[in-house]
A and B are shown apart, each in its own frame.
Chain A
Amino acid sequence: MAAPESGDGNNGAARMVTLISSDNTRFEVEAAAASLSQTLQLTILDGGGGGGDGIPLPNVDSATLSKVLEYCIKHAPAAANGGAPNATAVDRAELERFDNEFVNIDQSVLYSLIMAAHNLEIEGLQSLVAKKVADMIKGKSPMEIRRTLGFPDPTPEEQAEMNAHMLEYGWAYE
């Protein structure tokens, strides 16, 4: 992608920052993309992350970080336009297509993304993964949720409570 005017006075070339994953992989991205993270935004505004310094992210591994940055790079231009009020329908449709593809991933990766989006405070990504998980679980039974989360089998007492709940709120189990 051609580097757009960053608007931060660097005469054309977009300002780059370096992020360092928990397993010490260095990622160089445009400051505008990394700034989608509320957590990183202040550091970047203060001039951090440039040159050889880099910002260490001890909670995010390289596989997750590369996925997160894929999202940020795609969404940065629209975010720079202030939520893209003048974006064309084509642009919006393209972002939507990207988002749908983006969360079409393995459950474990999705879980890492939830944590990363939460820790880095990337609002759009938080909503996107939350919506995906909500769609995945909304039709599930309590037992299926337990299995998905790796909870131990319910005790007889818990099982009895679950049965009673199911009798009482039968309508919720369709």
Chain B
Amino acid sequence: MDCPNPKRSAVPGLPDDPLVEILTRVPAKSICRFKCVSKGWLGFINDPLYRKSLPQTLSGFFLSDTFTGKIYRHFINPSGKSVSPDAPSFSFLTDLHGFANTRFLHSCNGLFLFGHGPDRFHPLGYLVCNPATEEWVAVPRSGWTPSQLKEEEEEDYDSDDNEDEETSHTYLLFDPAVSPHFRLVMFALKGGFSSEAAVHTYSSETGVWIDRSGGEQSKQRQGDDEHQRLDTFGAISNLDGSAFVSGLLHLVVSPIHKDREVIVAVDGEGKTRKVLHYPEKPDQICTDVIFIGQSQGRLHCITTDRSTENTVSFEIMIWVLEDYANERWVLKHSVSSSRLFGNKNCFIAFSHNVVVAIHPDCNLLYYFLHGGRILVSYDMDRDKLTPICIVGRANVHATPYVPYFPESSALRR
């Protein structure tokens, strides 16, 4: 039985265990607020022993190079304040052999997926790690080989011809509320507007990759079958974000046979479970999906109305999928591009890879100004802009980070 130490007890006379039981049942938003009840509460909430059980919120952003996937040392605090020495980092990985060729691919619920190899699209192997616990595990490459490499072995391959180049896009799925194990889903896509070449999935539970690529049969199967494969659709818009909601990975996909993009929900077996049409106003003519993300447990989608692109400013709409099963989108907020970007070149400015994140627990939008050089937050409820920090580099990708403190058996080497 506990013998509470009165000096560091957060609530006089109450042992720590019942307080943990209580605080695990309040939302992350309340935890954030309760940090300033007293020094005792702050210490309690930050205590390594207890924070494992408490809900966490956005702690900042990791930066990486958009093209190479190289991760930068700099960690950005969401308040823009200078970062403490114990800020999360990947320094625990730098001693690994070959870390210099490690490239950031994706992250999900506090875990990060890196690939190592010549570039981001042809990894020779993977690394999944947790910066909060500094645990990591190596994952072998999937069984997929780009067909240009196969050809290369047979005859001289013309490397200048990238029209049919195949690339792989690997995503991490991790839902600690359901399983301590993570999954990887790798889509191999042909270049141009061609369709999917292969799907492979990996489970940390079994430790093996499985080829989920359907044969010709699955390619013929179209329509509203819930087991449709991504391969009936086409290219993944990698830069428009991805969202993990209701245990499914959501991606923006450009279909081959349709003229508009769709949001595809994929499970850990690489199966397409749902195809969502992005939201539009009734009178909208030309919609573009700019970003999808998760906030407050719901899928969010940011769109623009391109029909007015000739004017100085156009409308940016933030939608929330209020009813997932019935696909009911609700317009949460609407703002003009000139409000967010100023009047000059706003159309060019608000292209892909500009929106960084929607705060997981509130209506804050994070985006880049000036091609990635300045990170700004926009408070939808108060219509308030706040500069967060000057990044000072172009082509930067910022990954929102919500720490996951429990140790994981899936990350034991």
Interface residues of A (CB under 8 A from B): 111, 114-115, 117-119, 126-127, 129-131, 133-135, 137-142, 145-146, 149-151, 158, 161-162, 165-166, 168-174
The chain A residue sitting closest to B35, CB to CB, is A165
Interface pair B79/A134, CB less than 8 Å apart: no
Please indicate the chain A residues that have their CB under 8 angstroms from the CB of B25 in the complex.
130-131, 134-135
Structural contact, A130 and B22, CB atoms closer than 8 A: yes
- CB-contact partner of B37 in A114, A138, A145, under 8 A: A145
Contact A149 B30 (CB under 8 A): no
**Structural contact, A137 and B33, CB atoms closer than 8 A:** no
User: Closest A-chain residue to B32, C-beta based?
Assistant: A172
How far, in angstroms, from A142 to B32 measured CA to CA in the complex? 10
**Is B361 close to A, CB under 8 A?**
yes
A162 near B11: Cβ-Cβ < 8 Å: no
Q: Please determine whether B22 and A133 come into contact, CB atoms closer than 8 angstroms.
A: yes
The reply to whether A171 and B361 contact each other, CB–CB distance below 8 Å, is: yes
- Chain B nearest Cβ from A3, distance in angstroms: 32
A138-B361 Cα distance, complex, nearest whole Å: 14
**Distance A151 CA – B1 CA, assembled complex (angstroms):** 26
Contact B363 A171 (CB under 8 A): yes
CB distance from B40 to the nearest CB of A (A): 9
Please report the number of residue pairs spanning A and B whose Cβ atoms sit closer than 8 angstroms.
78
Chain B residues whose C-beta falls within 8 Å of the C-beta of A138 in the assembled complex = 26-27, 30
Q: List 5 A-B contacts (CB under 8 A).
A: A115-B14, A129-B18, A137-B30, A169-B79, A174-B381
Within B9-45, the residues touching A (CB, 8 Å) are 11-12, 14-15, 17-18, 21-27, 29-30, 32-38, 41
Q: Report A172 CB to chain B, min CB distance, Å.
A: 4
Chain B nearest CB, measured from A97 CB (Å): 20
Residue of B at shortest CB range from A173? Answer: B33
Q: How far is the CA of A137 from the CA of B364 in the complex (A)?
A: 24
Chain B residues positioned under 8 Å from A131 (CB to CB): 25
A169 and B21 contacting across the interface, CB-CB below 8 Å = no
Q: Bound state CA distance, A113 and B33, in angstroms?
A: 26
| A145 CA to B41 CA, complexed, in Å | 11
Task: Tell me, yes or no, whether B124 is within 8 Å of chain A by CB.
Answer: no
B26 touches A172 (CB 8 A): no
Q: Report chain B residues within 8 Å CB of A140.
A: 30
Write out the residue numbers on chain A whose beta carbons fall within 8 Å of the beta carbon of B364: 171
Residues of A within 8 A of B12 (CB): 149-150
Alpha-carbon distance A127/B17, docked complex (angstroms): 12
B14, B21, B30, B361 — which one has the most chain A CB atoms within 10 A of its CB?
B21
| B18 in contact with A114 (CB, 8 Å) | yes
A171-B379 contact in complex given A114-B18, A118-B15, A118-B17, C-beta closer than 8 Å: yes
Main secondary structure of the interface of B (DSSP, over half): loop
Cβ of B359 under 8 Å from chain A? yes
Q: Is the CB of B38 within 8 A of A151?
A: yes
- B83 contacts partner chain A, Cβ-Cβ < 8 Å: no
Residue of A nearest to B362 (CB): A171
Q: Are B362 and A145 in contact (CB under 8 A)?
A: no
B38 — which chain A residues lie within 8 A by C-beta? 146, 151, 158
Expressed in whole angstroms, the Cα–Cα distance for A168 and B81 within the complex equals 10
**From B18, B362, B379, contact of A172 by CB (8 A):** B362
Q: Check A169 against B33 for contact (C-beta < 8 Å).
A: yes
Within the complex, what minimum Cβ distance (angstroms) separates A69 from chain B? 20
Q: Which residue among B15, B26, B30 has the maximum number of chain A CB atoms within 10 Å of its CB?
A: B26
User: Are the C-beta atoms of B381 and A134 separated by less than 8 Å?
Assistant: no
Q: Which residue of B lies closest to A131 (CB)?
A: B25
Q: Which of B17, B30, B79 contacts A139 (CB 8 A)?
A: B30
Find B11's partner among A117, A139, A149, A172 (CB 8 Å cutoff). A149
Tell me, in angstroms, the Cα distance from A114 to B14 when the chains sit together.
9
Q: Within the assembled complex, what's the spacing in Å between the Cα atoms of A126 and B17? A: 10
Residues of B within 8 A of A139 (CB): 30
Identity of the chain B residue whose Cβ is nearest the Cβ of A144 in the assembled complex? B37
